[in-house]
A = this chain, B = another copy of it.
Amino acid sequence: MALIVQKYGGTSVGDLDRIANVARKVAATKDKGNDVVVVVSAMSGETDRLLGLAKKISPLPNEREVDVLISTGEQVTIALLAITLESMGYKARSYCGWQIPLVTDAAYGSARVTDIKKEALLKDLQAGHIIVVAGFQGVDDAGNVTTLGRGGSDTSAVAVAAALNADLCEIFTDVDGVYTTDPNITAKARKIPKIAYEEMLEMASLGAKVLYIRAVEFAMRYKVPVVVRSSFTDNEGTLVTEENSDMEKESVRSVTCNTKEAKITISGVEDKPGIASTIFSLLADSNVVVDMIIQNSSEAGKTDISFTLPEADLKKGLEICQRLKQDLHAEEISGSSDIAKVSIIGLGMRSHSGVAAKMFTALAKEGINIEMISTSEIKISCVISQKYAELAVRTLHDVFELDKASA
């Protein structure tokens, strides 16, 4: 007998039939003698419908009230799922964020979980109840409703699993696991049976949407074993867990690709202290999140600065740089959204040398020019021309033999 937390996303609870399907999966888990906590999202489309109403009233609706509004989406789902489970003869009990309470800071729309009281949940579990928790929502210290932002229900599930010291947190979604790369780009993409938290974290930061960063951070911090699997099949999913000897000994675990970024280059800037600080402080003040930054000193005391930023912020970023042009004595400012960031990720890079060289060589062989490079201990990212994105992914997937499972 184990304590299992299961999370079902919006598509999985999109209508009453799908909610009944979820109820059957939950009941089957309970029938095996497990304690079960289910975390659910709003029915697909509901959050957007509610946000749409708010946006019709005001382009910038009051943030506190938006959270009050959209948190009703999950509340409807927990009630419907609990009613379904009760009608099947199971004891079920729904919990809104404030009822647990799942305490967060006061950052409406993107609140961070600070504390989860487990007493009420444990008491209900002991009484044999299936617990149905509204994902995505919490309550701050002052009693205001908050929401956790994108992927918030994943975070809720992992956080609740951590608080209850659950044996497993299963994230049911519309894909059946974490793949070596996007199966839409190459049919050779392979489902990864086990992946380390650190690798999953890099993948999430690099744009893999299967699990959100905060959820992975939480899982890593509290060592919650997480399984990502499909709510529509019984296929085994991917286990996200601590690095261990049982894991495939690959130098590279996966290839990711992000085409939603843009690049700005400021050429011929005076090469003196404080220049980078000026530029990036101003961008930060305007809430432009900069990713990669490259600065090349060149001859004659001049330098070029390039950085990447979300495609959606390109215009804003260019405007800010243009305003600075005179002050910086810059020669030229250019921007392009015609780029792709291709990355390879793997814990094995720590011990395998030559991985970077192998990557650069493979891309060069295909005639793909590398515009920017950024590395961490367990990943290497290259910015390339967007037209080569798929080719680069397929090439790297082949070169690192990601289609083959190691022994």
A80 at the interface (CB under 8 A from B): yes
User: Do B79 and A65 touch across chains, with their CB atoms under 8 A apart?
Assistant: yes
Minimum distance in angstroms from A309 CB to a CB of chain B: 30
- Indicate if A84 sits at the interface (CB-CB under 8 A): yes
Work out how many copies of this chain go into the complex.
2
Report the bound CA distance from A136 to B93 in whole Å. 21
A76 CB within 8 Å of chain B = yes
CB distance from A64 to the nearest CB of B (A): 8
A55 to chain B, nearest CB (A): 10
Chain B nearest CB from A383 CB (Å) reads 40
Of B57, B94, B120, B144, which is within 8 A of A87 by CB? B57
Provide the bound-state CA to CA distance between A272 and B66, in Å. Answer: 66
Give chain B residues whose Cβ lies under 8 Å from the Cβ of A355. none
Rounded to whole Å, the gap between the CB of A150 and the closest CB of chain B is 20
When the two chains form their complex, are residues B65 and A86 in contact, meaning their CB atoms are under 8 A apart? yes
Q: Which of A283-331 contact B (CB under 8 A)?
A: none
Is B83 within 8 A of A57, CB to CB? yes
Contacts of A69 in B (CB 8 A): 75-76, 79-80, 83
**CB of A56 within 8 Å of the partner chain:** yes
CB interface residues, A 109-146, toward B, < 8 Å: 120, 143-145
How long is the Cα–Cα vector from A58 to B143 in the complex, in angstroms?
Answer: 33
Contact A53 B68 (CB under 8 A): no
A336 interface contact, C-beta 8 A:
no
Q: A75 contacts which of B53, B57, B62, B72 (Cβ < 8 Å)?
A: B72
Chain B, Cβ-Cβ closest to A94: B68
Does A98 lie at the interface of the complex (its beta carbon under 8 Å from any beta carbon of B)? Answer: yes
Q: Which chain B residues border A20 with CB–CB below 8 Å?
A: 57
Q: Kindly list chain B residues whose C-beta atoms are within 8 Å of the C-beta of A86.
A: 58, 61-62, 65
Q: Are A68 and B79 in contact (CB under 8 A)?
A: yes
Which residues of A come within 8 Å of B, CB atoms? 16, 19-20, 50, 53-54, 56-58, 61-62, 64-66, 68-69, 71-72, 75-76, 78-80, 82-84, 86-87, 92-94, 96, 98-99, 120, 143-145
- Which 7 residue pairs are nearest across A and B when measured between Cβ atoms? A69-B79, A58-B87, A72-B72, A62-B86, A68-B79, A65-B82, A61-B83
